[in-house]
Amino acid sequence: MRDTFYKYIENLQDEITEKLEAVDGKVKFQQDIWKRKEGGGGRTRVIENGDVFEKGGVNISAVHGHLPEAMQNYFNVRDCDFFACGLSLVLHPKNPMVPTVHANFRYFEMYDQQNNIVDQWFGGGQDLTPYYLFEEDAIHFHKVSKNACDKHGDNLYETYKEKCDDYFWNSHRDEARGIGGLFFDYLKPTENKSLQNIYDFVTEVANQFLEAYVPIVEKRKNLSYHQKQRDWQEIRRGRYVEFNLVHDKGTLFGLKTNGRIESILMSLPPYVQWQYNHHPEPNSDEAKLLEVLKSPKNWV
């Protein structure tokens, strides 16, 4: 499974970056192949200063070795080795009318001292972070996500949508990071569901990513905007940074396993503001977004 999934994300990275380059039309992804001294490595692709994407990354990695003590404590295990691979992407568009998007699809194994697999699971998901709320965009993103889930079981969308709302919650701000999507973790084989079944589900969602996001970008990328709206985008990007540095498990895992710092932090936007005690004007478009972020909404 580890070889099968890594080959899959290699191909998925190619597909996604090729499409995003076509959408931007100005710049290409720069590629950086790196190795981790403890074992494994990855292929980082970053796009910057485009006509559409101000900064973005579509990264794959496969790392392995002895599980560090901090992560042993986190997983409540002792003296074991691990393998982890996945694709992670974040795109920060230039136009504040175009939402930021994040997606991640990953696979993990743990081994005993005889190199037997003692645990294995999939995780991942995708979520949308708009700066100005177009309800039809939120509905489209969630409908595509639901369609992918519905092919693999009843109530999967409802379950993983709720988990996404719970996970991407900036508790120190008491608000959501964005308008959600899907989040799933620790998907393990059971009597009724094989590892292949889980692989089929995860790749179904991943295969639908471009359909979920690109039509929104195409619809909004040429809308006009002014400096006040750009300032709001940068203020909201600050909340995005706060979540990634304070709460995000992927960032924590990368830092605790001596991951490549440039790849881990590629999710951070290039321009951000933290204005002291900032509040939008009542009844403004900015205030309307905050109202939605205060209480997760059912979009489909």
Q: List pLDDT tens digits, range 173-214.
A: 999 999 999 999 999 999 999 999 999 999 999 999 999 999
The rounded mean pLDDT for the chain is 95
pLDDT tens for each residue of 21-41: 999 999 999 999 999 888 999
- Which residues are annotated as catalytic? 102
pLDDT tens for each residue of 106-123: 999 999 888 999 999 999
Confidence category of residue 76, pLDDT binned at 50, 70, 90: confident
Q: What is the pLDDT of residue 45?
A: 97
More confident residue, 10 or 267: 10
Buried b or exposed e, range 64-83, using 16+ CB within 10 angstroms: bbebeeebbeeeeeeebbbb
Residue 274 has pLDDT above 80, yes or no: yes
Q: Which domains does the chain have, with CATH numbers?
A: 2-294 (3.40.1500.10)
pLDDT tens for each residue of 42-54: 999 999 999 999 9
Percent of the chain with pLDDT over 90: 85
- Provide mean pLDDT across the span 71-76: 78
Q: What is the pLDDT of residue 96?
A: 98
pLDDT tens for each residue of 250-263: 888 788 777 788 88
Percent of the chain with pLDDT over 70: 100
Q: What is the pLDDT of residue 268?
A: 93
- Provide mean pLDDT across the span 142-147: 98
Q: What is the pLDDT of residue 78?
A: 83
- Provide mean pLDDT across the span 137-165: 97
Q: What is the pLDDT of residue 10?
A: 98
Residue 71 has pLDDT above 90, yes or no: no
Residue 266 has pLDDT above 90, yes or no: no
